[in-house]
Structure 1
Amino acid sequence: MKYNIKGKTYTYIADIKDNNPVRLSFDQLSVQTFHLSFEPWHHNGYWDHTCVPHVLLDGDTVIANATVNVLRVRWQEEEKTWLQLGTVMTHPDYRHQGLSRWLMDKIFEEWEGQYNLMFLFANERVLDFYPKFGFVPVSEYQYHTRQLTPQPGKVRQLDMDNAADCALLLRKYAQSNPFAALTVTDPAGLLMFYCTQFMKTCVYHLEETDVIAVVEHKEGVMTCHDIFGETHQSLNNILSVLMEKNTQQITLGFTPKDTSGFTMLPLKTEDLTLFVLEEQQHLFADNQLMIPTLAHT
């Protein structure tokens, strides 16, 4: 559909997954802006209806985008729909022309009444932009422990190029994280965005408890991003089996239901601030939560 924005006509399209020329142009802008390509993810079949770019084109070229990612979230045993805005970008030749603001207004118009919470992560360059739409910055809190010691167990690193291992991960993901106070239950495609690319060597199957964990080890710190599967084992038992001999600290990528033995600290990330709509900020202020690390878009 054609729109006139500040005297110039652009084409607006939402949900471009199956529009090959537009999707490829979108991907070129993403690579130029973020050095990030969505094409491998699309090629592997993990891009579904929950990832909805909203693009403006000048001719046949995507020159601005804001993506709505639809998340199903379980909080206090209730399923909610949260929208995460991401991949907000404008071609350098088209900046400061109101295109991102137009897209934001369009998203609010088209998604009205379809979500329980809307959030985004913003870098330092745009901290003054999102408050214009009712967003406010909120603090996140992360949990750490130094009280555990490594324990033996059968742990197998999954091969994320292997179809059977990918299927195993998806089956366990469907069982959710039994230890998380706040967990994303859908889309599985977002999990696979991480686990088939940036974290493809970080996915482990604990054979004795039949759960899967996404874990990174670096300089004595083990970051457990998430755990999936049904189990009667405790979180501490699972973490102990995942530890390496030199692990000194464990950091969780999710908010645990049981915080016993964990230290809560404000989450500080380089150049990223969580924003939510002002009327929704109490959820984070009252409960010391964090957005699960594998749910960032």
Structure 2
Amino acid sequence: MRGALFMMGAMCAYTVNDAFMKALSDEIPLFQAIFFRGVGAVIFLALMCRVLGQLRFRFAVRDWGFLLLRTAGELGGTFFFLTALFNMPIANVSAILQVLPLSVSLAAALFLGEALGWRRLTAIFVGFVGVILIIQPGGADFSIYSLYAVGAVACITMRDIAVRRMSREVPSVFVALVAAVGVTCLGGVGSLFINWQPFTVTSGLQLAGAMSFLIFGYIASVSAMRSGEIGFVAPFRYTSLLVALVLGVLVFGEWPNALALAGGAVVVATGLFTLYRETQLKVRHSVVPDRVR
């Protein structure tokens, strides 16, 4: 239960961070916002690495390769996600991102050789149909920025697959620090080609809020993974969609249409089924050897 509460707290924090960033887009350009938010995240994560004794660099070349691949996925995911967020209803973007457990399962089967039965494969197919309902290609509510959200899913999937191939010798906080440095550099380079805007009191507070909730979300998500079984904790990540719906209505006056809501429900349902099947398979694999012995 502690792990579930941490996961709910993490998802709430990440979504509130998204809302602050979306509100910030009215005054501050994308790359400028990425840069300044990243500076705060880098400082915090560097201090956290130092305190935990995880600020070390002697890893195998293979691990550095996967670390750089993960960072590349983080860069692409950040750019595509925030671009979509700045131009779409927050609930729609969040709903598309909920397909991540499905896309990671499919990628793990394709690139890592992990087993994928027909039930989970069917669930993944149905989940992607749900994404199409949210995007509504060719419909009156279609936005090209929906494809940016799909691009974010692809990049984050690559990021998560790279983590699976990384050895446990690479500390998790150090991985996050390297990603934060990469994203901050992305914002810095992109800022060279835009006109910077001065921060007002409102935009400054919004940026501070985004950084604070992002940091809290990171701490809570790590605590969630360390406090409970992943099969029990993971489904609570869908809290973010509910929070996004509420914030979309109360803060931005946005409400997804019926098709988008139906698509979001399909994505969540198939994601929960996939997590359930993975949990059942893990239990089965852990019981069979005991019976054999």
Q: 1 or 2, which has the higher helix percentage?
A: 2
Q: 1 or 2, which has the higher strand percentage?
A: 1
Shorter-chain TM-score above 0.5: no
TM-score of the pair, normalised by structure 1: 0.22
TM-score of the pair, normalised by structure 2: 0.22
